Amino acid sequence: MSLRIDTHVQGTAALKAAVDAITTVKPAGTDTDADGAHVVPLELRRWLARLRLLEGVPFAYLVPDSALLPPESIRFFYLDRRWTDALTQGALSVGTVTSADRSQLEQLHPVVRDEVDVAERSVRPVGGEGATSTSGTITGFLLRSRVVSGWPGMHVRAYDRELPGDDNVIVPQSDTRRLRLLRLERLAPAVLLVLFDGVPAIVHIEEPRRGIQFGIRLDATTTPTSFAPWIPPRDVTDPQKVINDRVPVPCRPGSPGVLDLKHLNQALIARADTKMKTGDGVVDSAEFALEALRFPYRQVFGDVHHPVTHLRDVFRPTVSIATEVGAAHVSLIERFREGLA
């Protein structure tokens, strides 16, 4: 596939000056900047690194037909180095005029490639990710889904080997098995492009963990004309205890979708296994919040035979309330209890 770089957009004059700086440099490695001695100037290295990570490349070159990326689909791929090398060589050729310019630039292509390889890994400097891969292989995926527009701050993590235990194991941010994210960007409201430094064995895509999330659940078989929400009951004294059941969530009469929290609270109190009813017959706000807590959803891509268990192995909720609180907090707690009474 051949690529055409729009010289008016990219800036012919700037490229020409940058290429002149490369081809007229004296011995290799005499250009010194913040990163040390290089043949390619710093700004040009950064620009070429972003270009090799497909910034500025028309989306039609990545996905020539919409049928290749239908709605609610994900496509994993390898990035062909020969393709991206040709892309950078074509961009640099804009700054050449004579055959002598082209000959000098051609001799420097191996050096340019090595320096851009290093610059690629610093385009998105994020702490807590794995070290730079030595394989030089860049992989990634394109995701087209409503979750991209619904959760623009999704977390994406990739690991170079299967994790011990199961897919819900807790992995620290500094784990050396985690691959570096070279690019994570929404190309459209519902299209996400991700590039990894290396070949992942497992990929986690997860809802953002920002603040506390409360929610209900709906079955996939629910018809558009019906609305039957439910939540899983939890033992507030032992959050790790599994209660394999459902508690229907009531809605206000004539208002489907508007939750009736008072009757939901009564339904939870009526269950002995939730242990929500305290000695004085009232329910703490923390206990009620634990029942309505909704953990971030995680989608795992990897070995289909790898065991998967419940999210209770990852998220460990606890309930506590301060014994000494100010008058404002006491008033708020009492108002909450009165509202659920």
My answer on whether 286 and 315 are in the same domain is yes
pLDDT, position 184 = 92
Residue 195 clears pLDDT 70, i.e. is over it: yes
State the Cα–Cα distance between residues 8 and 6, nearest whole angstrom: 5
| Residue 194 maps to a domain | yes
My answer on whether 272 and 324 are in the same domain is yes
My answer on whether 115 and 158 are in the same domain is no
| Residue 188 maps to a domain | yes
Q: In what order do the strands lie in the sheet with 181-188?
A: 73-78, 138-144, 191-197, 181-188
My answer on whether 270 and 332 are in the same domain is yes
My answer on whether 114 and 146 are in the same domain is no
- The single-letter DSSP state of residue 102 is H
| Residue 178 maps to a domain | yes
Confidence of residue 7 (pLDDT cuts 50, 70, 90): very low
Confidence of residue 190 (pLDDT cuts 50, 70, 90): very high
Reported in sequence order, the residue ranges of 56-137 that DSSP labels E, i.e. its strands, are: 73-78
Domain span at residue 305 reads 230-340
My answer on whether 240 and 304 are in the same domain is yes
Confidence of residue 306 (pLDDT cuts 50, 70, 90): low
- The single-letter DSSP state of residue 75 is E
| Residue 71 maps to a domain | no
Residue 255 clears pLDDT 70, i.e. is over it: yes
| Residue 1 maps to a domain | no
State the Cα–Cα distance between residues 326 and 78, nearest whole angstrom: 58
| Residue 68 maps to a domain | no
My answer on whether 116 and 35 are in the same domain is yes
| For the chain, percent of residues with pLDDT exceeding 70 | 70
Helix or strand or coil: residue 261?
helix
* pLDDT-wise least confident of 49-58, 103-112, 215-224: 215-224
My answer on whether 336 and 235 are in the same domain is yes
- Mean pLDDT (the chain) is 76
pLDDT, position 15 = 53
pLDDT, position 19 = 56
| For the chain, percent of residues with pLDDT exceeding 90 | 14
pLDDT, position 332 = 57
3-state secondary structure 145-205: CHHHHHCCCCEEEEECCCCCCCCCCCCCCCCCCECCEEEEEEEECCEEEEEEEECCCEEEE
- Sign (positive or negative) of CA dihedral 86, 92, 95, 97: negative
Contact 143, 195 (CB under 8 A): no
In angstroms, the Cα distances linking 182 to 47, 196, 198, 325 are 14, 6, 10, 47
Selected residue with higher pLDDT from 103 and 34: 103
My answer on whether 95 and 152 are in the same domain is no
Our count of domains for the chain comes to 3
| Residue 85 maps to a domain | yes
Give the type of residue at 310: H
My answer on whether 12 and 116 are in the same domain is yes
- Render pLDDT for 148-164 as a digit per residue (tens, 0 to 9): 998 888 889 999 888 77
My answer on whether 325 and 248 are in the same domain is yes
| Residue 220 maps to a domain | no
My answer on whether 325 and 269 are in the same domain is yes
Contact 39, 28 (CB under 8 A): yes
Confidence of residue 123 (pLDDT cuts 50, 70, 90): confident
- Render pLDDT for 268-291 as a digit per residue (tens, 0 to 9): 888 888 888 765 667 778 888 888
